[in-house]
Copies of this chain bind each other. A is one copy, B any other.
């Protein structure tokens, strides 16, 4: 039989209640009693039943974290940030993977709700034209979207200024004189793609140039996609002198294609990634990229969530973290 408060109560002669109070460090308990009960609890290997406790005390100290893909290094950095703050605040994480499916995401949220999580941090699978607007709007607990947003629920998001980030990339490339820039963009159903495309367009506008749609690829974002896209461009005879990528992983694939085609980076082609993943500084040549504060994104999301948990009436508002273009060896400028 598992040791419960009852076991300890019987063993010490006190009431269950007193034992409970001692173990929660409640006031108004004599020191002797406290010491006695605590040592007995230790002796019996008492493990509190957090589930039973949550039945009376609604604070489960648990949050739900749902990401698109646990194995993606971008998300895992974010999750680490979440974990760090959660741990500091005494929260535990229930984790799941939406596998880029809205159905799966909804299912997980329900499951976690059933487990009485006090709030959610979600990296939603779909943002633009999400079918989950109503679902989220009706959620009984606070929720924060990290790194992405859902149309109409922008105020629940912590973002990293995607528009500015991509704009700075194209400002650099256009100012450097490039006129044939391959743009390996992201999947169209997420907000990041939308915002970065917007940044790209604004940069073109500033230079009074119309972007050429033949140069824009919307890709899932894996290394092979970048590799294929660049191969395709080369085979089609599409001339280009620069490549802007939606993420470092695409850039990795793109560089591979360039190398195989004997195009030198940055002499023949300048390449810029996005995200600043750890490995990007170790590539050959090292990758110029937009630094996204991944760890901080997660940390801040948890900070905000906790704030909302503790202050249910607080209004939600969008938080937008700054990004920064970092020059390394894959660009002329350094």
Contacts and interface: CB of A to CB of B under 8 A. Distances in A.
A113 B47 contact: yes
Interface stretch (A29-37, A48-56, A201-209): A48-56
Contacts of A115: 50-51, 62, 92
A117 B178 CA distance: 57
Interface string A299-322: 000000000000000000000000
Contacts of A2: 140
Nearest to A284: B284
Contacts of A223: 278, 282
Contacts of A284: 255, 259, 283-284
B279 A47 contact: no
A120 to B, nearest CB: 14
Contacts of A256: 282
B83 A97 contact: yes
A93 B92 contact: no
Nearest to A111: B92
Interface string A53-78: 01100001010010001111100110
A55 B295 CA distance: 37
B252 A279 contact: yes
Given A253-B282, A284-B255, A80 B97 contact: yes
Nearest to A294: B71
A94 interface: yes
Contacts of A65: 95
Q: Which among A48, A116, A278 has the highest number of chain B CB atoms within 10 Å?
A: A278
Given A96-B92, A252-B282, A110 B47 contact: yes
A79 B70 contact: yes
Given A76-B71, A97-B80, A283-B284, A51 B49 contact: no
Nearest to A280: B279
A259 B284 CA distance: 9
A246 to B, nearest CB: 16
A112 B61 CA distance: 12
Q: Which among A60, A83, A115, A278 has the highest number of chain B CB atoms within 10 Å?
A: A115
Nearest to A71: B80
A114 interface: yes
Contact of A114 (B49, B73, B113): B49
A87 interface: yes
A116 B49 CA distance: 7
Interface of A: 2, 47-52, 54-55, 60, 62, 65, 69-73, 76-77, 79-80, 83, 87, 92-97, 110-116, 140, 223, 252-253, 255-256, 259, 278-279, 282-284, 295
15 contacts: A47-B110, A47-B114, A50-B115, A51-B54, A51-B55, A52-B55, A65-B95, A72-B76, A76-B76, A83-B95, A92-B94, A92-B111, A93-B95, A223-B282, A252-B279
Listed from nearest, the 10 A-B pairs whose CB atoms lie closest are: A284-B284, A71-B80, A252-B282, A76-B76, A50-B114, A95-B95, A279-B279, A51-B51, A70-B80, A71-B76
